[in-house]
Amino acid sequence: MEIDIRLPIGFMFTLLGLLLVIFGLTTEGDPELYRRSLEINVNLWSGLLMLVFGGLMLLFGLRAKRSKTK
């Protein structure tokens, strides 16, 4: 039995990215929180990148799993 590492990595990055996006959206109006990062909402942008990466890992993992069953 082979385990594809892309599936758990995809789930982990998607979940963490979703949490960061939610936190970034709820704290968007707080300039004091983002003063050290030059007023850039780092939580939102890093969360979006993690969501994209996690989604790609899930897509590639499910695609490989589906091609093995055919």
Amino acid at 17: G
- For position 1, what pLDDT does the model report? 56
- For position 29, what pLDDT does the model report? 86
- For position 26, what pLDDT does the model report? 95
Quote the tokens at residue 22: 């939610």
In the chain (70 residues long), the average pLDDT of successive 10-residue segments reads 86 97 93 90 96 96 82
The gap from C-alpha 70 to its chain's centroid, in whole angstroms, comes to 29
CA angle 13, 21, 7 (to 5 degrees): 15
Phi/psi region, residue 40 (left: phi>0; alpha: psi -120 to 50; beta: rest), is beta
- Find the radius of gyration of the CA atoms of the chain: 16
- For position 42, what pLDDT does the model report? 95
